[in-house]
Structure 1
Amino acid sequence: MSAADPFTVEYDPKALKEVSRLDKPVARRVIKAINALSADPRPGGVRPLVGYPGLWRIRVGEYRVVYTIKDTELVVLALRVAHRSSVYRGL
């Protein structure tokens, strides 16, 4: 995040745990994608989750990041990071 980025990125403890379990190259790509949300929390390709108001997802290869945007606080909160086959379970 640079000084010009309007949003701050935060991680839910569950998301941090999920990132720590990924292979290092995958984890680096996921963290880079999440941190990029500080400049634009709704980049091209991002989708709101159907049936889950206020939740968004981005694709990072075979993995998905589920997050919420707190516009009034200028915060992007990463909630889940998991393989696409299991990321939506338990939301």
Structure 2
Amino acid sequence: MFETVFSDDHQLDINGEYLNTNSIRPEEFLYEGFIKDDPGSHVYGSIMDGVFDGHIILSDGTSLTVEKASRYFSPDERPKNYHSG
């Protein structure tokens, strides 16, 4: 579990409104681990709204980045049933 990933003076700004960061619980959405059949691998990232966004590094050095597809499409152009790429 994470003690905290935010510094004491961290401020969260969402659309110009500063929010109380004490309500943020990183252990509820940040994850770290490894691939089941590759114990030398390293996986870390977040799961928000059921979608993983992060990095996968296999023990052979292969590195993969998984990002939300929504970053690359306007809302009206997003493919249906497709959330990561």
The TM-score with structure 2 as length reference comes to: 0.25
| Structure number with higher relative contact order (C-alpha < 8 Å, ≥ 6 residues apart) | 1
Q: Which has the higher strand share?
A: 2
Q: Which has the higher helix share?
A: 1
Q: Which has the larger radius of gyration?
A: 2
